[in-house]
Structure 1
């Protein structure tokens, strides 16, 4: 499904109330959490430990799955989500578009969880050979960041390739059917494609992207319910601590949760290192600001933004 179609469908879901609407004031309030396959929110969802903690505060949780960060933040902009998580690029594009989001935490990096892959028989062996090629990725995603940095490392610009904006599911089909020559993507979609054995890595993510998860919230929710945000982050931290040394158990849990092949999930888990939940530091703000400024220079971001404006001065009880 293409990004525009995702946006249209999302608008329909929101209009019909299928993405989740806050109920009338009462004892049963809903925390609406947007998540992506294999992200650490999936571990929290599968664990089932959040629900009883929220129930003690009169809340229930509604989990809403998205294929990538950009449509997740579209839902937050529509007022249909309280919390979500993405890679580095989506919040920059969302902030530039006026989405009322704030950063509340970040994970440790996981650079091996992203790559640019090509068909196994392709002649493309590195970033320089992407010139003139059709490269698929989700616009405004961490995969977009990887493409930009691959091109810059090889003295190329975005005009030197044919960018094809595709959802993860469409990207894999396009690569397998010859619709694109290369595909920039992240786990678990990356691991699932590698597991079949018909693709190989042409460019590694390590050294080019950090592969962090950024944990985001609707500004209005943070303003009104800091206690629930703090509870959520504390439970996320605890569950990730449990998962850190239980890769086999986590792989089985996520395979059941996502419906993705256990071998692919195990491959993705073996290179995941996002098990810390940390406060947003000045260094992370500076890294996001540098990326935003570069996107503006390239004409990809419509206007300059100040990332720090989306970082609330709130102590959520996290390590730096």
Structure 2
């Protein structure tokens, strides 16, 4: 696969994925209009807090008095999830990596920032096998590295290489999903793998690996919760409920690490020890988004544009931001 993404092909795939989910979810939404609001929420496997809320039926209970009905839709990664928001297939998005809103913004998506998690830089890393001769990032030159395109780890790789005096073009990028990345890594088909929790914790506990570098000092890794702008404008009460419950759930996970890991284990199909390790590296500190705090989003956007991965420059702070203090 080419080392560089073609922006037009990214946008085309996003639109196709978004259209598919929209077709699947819009019909139930229309049918539900007579009985109250239909709220469609997209999430990923790594969406810890909303996974817990979904399993407990928390949002359903809190929003039922208003006649709201919730449907849940799982995505393999964040890019098609946000495009589904943009084309009207979803209303709310669980947390996505900090890179994903940047790509969505460059594609013209009308998305509203609902919340962010405080930095979790150690929750993503570049790893090599324990017996690998590679001991430094500089030694990755001319090596084949598995990475998920447009994910937070994509930025981590570019920024870490740059810090070591290398260009992204100095390595061979193998753009793979987390599952395919791990398979390639364990079969020695790649020299290194860049991944995030809980995939990182899983491979650390089940395979002999070594962390070459994580995000500390390079990439903050702040995950973002978003809403379709039209939905955000007309349903501020829903956003307030979701925001409050995300905060409470994040605090519960950090205060009760073993209980949280045991709760998530059957939902994720992972052992509790692996989940506890992964959760120990995530802040789960949910907070409101402020324009002045989007500096790293701008650095991410500028980095991807310089690498030819974004179709145009963007102003990362030129976005709609929901502010809880202004509600009610």
Please give the TM-score of this superposition, normalised by the length of structure 1: 0.90
| Matched residue count | 314
Long gaps (5+) in structure 1: none
- TM-superposed CA distance for 1:78, in Å, is 3.1
Q: Distance in 2 between matches of 1:20 and 1:270?
A: 40
Long gaps (5+) in structure 2: 1-8
Higher helix fraction (1 or 2):
2
- Counterparts in 2 of 1:103-182, with a 5 A limit? 103-182=113-192
Match of 2:323 in 1: 315
- TM-superposed CA distance for 1:266, in Å, is 1.6
- TM-superposed CA distance for 1:145, in Å, is 1.0
Listed one character per residue, the Cα deviations across residues 242-276 of structure 1 (whole Å, up to 9, x for unaligned) are: 222100110011112111222211211222222x2
**Structure 1 residue 35 corresponds to structure 2 residue 43:** yes
Listed one character per residue, the Cα deviations across residues 119-161 of structure 1 (whole Å, up to 9, x for unaligned) are: 2221112211111111111111101110011111101111101
Match of 1:14 in 2: 21
8 Å CA contact retained: 1:104, 1:311: no
1:289 to 271, 277, 298: 298
- Give the match's secondary structure for 1:211: coil
8 Å CA contact retained: 1:137, 1:171: yes
Match of 2:312 in 1: 303
Match of 1:23 in 2: 30
Listed one character per residue, the Cα deviations across residues 184-211 of structure 1 (whole Å, up to 9, x for unaligned) are: 1100011111110232212122222112
Report the more deviating stretch, 291-300 or 251-260: 291-300
Report the more deviating stretch, 68-77 or 90-99: 68-77
8 Å CA contact retained: 2:22, 2:89: no
8 Å CA contact retained: 2:98, 2:223: yes
- Give the match's secondary structure for 2:126: strand
Please give the TM-score of this superposition, normalised by the length of structure 2: 0.88
Match of 1:272 in 2: 282
- Counterparts in 2 of 1:115-264, with a 5 A limit? 115-264=125-274
